[in-house]
Structure 1
Amino acid sequence: MDNPCVAHRGYSSLAPENTMAAFQLAMEQKQVSWIELDVQLSRDGVPVVIHDFRLERTTNGSGNVRDHTLAELKKLDAGSWKSKKFAGERIPTLMEVLKLTKGKVKLNIELKTVGNMYPDLAATVIEKLQNAWKPRDYVITSFEKKALQQVKRVHPDLPTGLIINASPADLSRQLEELGCHFLSIGFPYVTKSLIKEMTSKNITVMAWTIDSSRIMRNIAALDPSIMLCTNRPELWNKANSRKLSKLFKSSSPK
């Protein structure tokens, strides 16, 4: 099974999501070639890595991420909710993650925004990336089309991808209009016909979020280029070993 394995928010089944611990643990897994993460802005305009717009679920803080300065966010515990052993984990900045992962894995960087919540998010993230990474080593993605359009206005050649949990009939047209060559799509919508269409348009497909080795094997069987995004990277090894086991059984003499 050659499909790329993408660690969703790092190794988020074992470590607190979107923390340095989760990213470090993901990089220690040989099968992980990509890490997916979420970026928002602090009140003072610093890109920080966190999924929810509010702080309550994954930190001991409260309120909106955007209403806190970086200094305030850095005081929060972003690990204890997962396990006592991760007590003291902090919300990382994008730059901290870029330094940790550079040359080790590629990044799927989701711009976490809705409407005009973060008008400067795209430009700020691009500034950090251009100082540190080459475009071949990352893709900028978002559910929010305005954010992807902002990326293209700042730098038309940067790789972008639409995130969607549906399969509309005009999906190819939407991607073309956005200038996207990457599609991040909920795994129930990944079909042979979708992959055929996306391949004809030279669009890379990532299926999310797959936490079943059986589903992983089924989707991988559609095409070896499909990226498999999971909270549990160990399942890639499990799915692969079962596939190999079936192959050996089918090829053994009767």
Structure 2
Amino acid sequence: MATPTVIAHRGYAGVAPENTLEAAAVAADDDRTSMLEIDVQPAACGTPVVIHDERLEGTRDGRPLTDGSGHVWETPLEELRETHVLGTDATVPTLEAFLESIPETMGVNVELKNPGTTDVRFAEALPADEREERREVWTPFVDRVVDACEAFGGEILFSSFCEGALAALRDVAPRYPAATLVWHDLEAGLEITRRYDCEAIHPPRNVILGTGLEQTTYAGFSGEAIPGIDVLEEAHREGRTVNVWTVTTWNQFEALAAAGVDGIIADYPGLGSFSDA
């Protein structure tokens, strides 16, 4: 059984405050990790910062997301730099600072999360007459993100749930590989992947057939209806990489590895160690 690439979800969010320099250090110190996955949005000035949620308030597993409030993109950069994550001393980093903190031997999957609007057309395959408009919405932010990535000498993979983000990336920096993130519609995900000739597709863990996980509820899939598309077979036939999210246990990891996925986005380090023993 081939060992999939291990991608640290938000910098192993299961053991460190997600999307922070501290999480980056945890992932980079583990030699089983090939890539970090992070989320980017703009601060009020447009500078890309590394954070998942649109708003600073809220909770994650009973902890406050941050000690701030309001939309990320309406918050001044200096305020974000002093905003504490999940009740820890870790703060919201800029994308530039995050990339500077990790070795160039570590790849980075940069998820284009939000360009600074509540209207992102999440996980939709857009009709032809709307694609240009959505590309234009994303282009200024994607420009800033690409600029921040230019100095990093390691591997960069961009991904997004939003077609407009992938359209903007192909226009701004087609030299970078891209991946479509899938939420609730495999057919739409494959359509977007083909439209922009994405090098990869990132489906949730419970749509990979033959693992048993397809009978469980996760992300936008209920588990009540087995997916009618073999996304792994389709993508591999077209020469695309399949990286699956988000794995939290060793047995999920083992089942997905046995199915032949290329990469596993994981919340914890070492989930593949039992299979390797």
What is the number of equivalent residue pairs in this alignment? 232
How many angstroms does 1:119 deviate by?
Answer: 5.0
Matching residue within 125, 130, 135 for 2:145? 125
Matching residue of 2:97: 96
Letter in 2 for 1:190: I
> For 2:239 and 2:12, how far apart are their aligned partners in 1?
29
Instruction: Calculate the TM-score normalised by the size of structure 1.
Output: 0.85
Q: Does the CA-based 8 Å contact 2:156-2:176 persist in structure 1?
A: no
Q: Does 1:139 align with 2:157?
A: yes
Larger radius of gyration: 1
Matching residue of 2:79: 72
In the TM superposition, 1:81-92 aligns within 5 A as 87-92=88-93
Letter in 2 for 1:107: V
Q: Does 1:197 align with 2:234?
A: yes
Letter in 2 for 1:125: V
In the TM superposition, 1:107-122 aligns within 5 A as 107-113=108-114, 114-115=120-121, 120-122=140-142
Residue range with higher mean Cα deviation, 119-128 or 198-207: 119-128
Structure 2 unaligned segments of length 5 or more: list them.
59-64, 115-119, 122-133, 211-229
Q: Does 1:206 align with 2:270?
A: no
Letter in 1 for 2:23: A
**What are the Cα deviations for residues 233-254 of structure 1, in whole angstroms up to 9, with x where unaligned?**
222223433xxxxxxxxxxxxx
In the TM superposition, 1:120-199 aligns within 5 A as 120-133=140-153, 137-169=155-187, 171-191=189-209, 193-199=230-236
2:272 counterpart SS class: helix
How many angstroms does 1:171 deviate by?
Answer: 4.3
> For 1:6 and 1:30, how far apart are their aligned partners in 2?
12
Structure 1 unaligned segments of length 5 or more: list them.
81-86, 242-254
Percent of aligned positions that are identical: 27
Matching residue of 1:12: 13
Matching residue of 2:268: 232
**What are the Cα deviations for residues 51-93 of structure 1, in whole angstroms up to 9, with x where unaligned?**
000011321001110011111111211242xxxxxx3211011
Letter in 1 for 2:53: D
> For 2:68 and 2:190, how far apart are their aligned partners in 1?
41
CA-based RMSD of the aligned residues comes to: 1.8
1:15 counterpart SS class: coil
2:202 counterpart SS class: strand
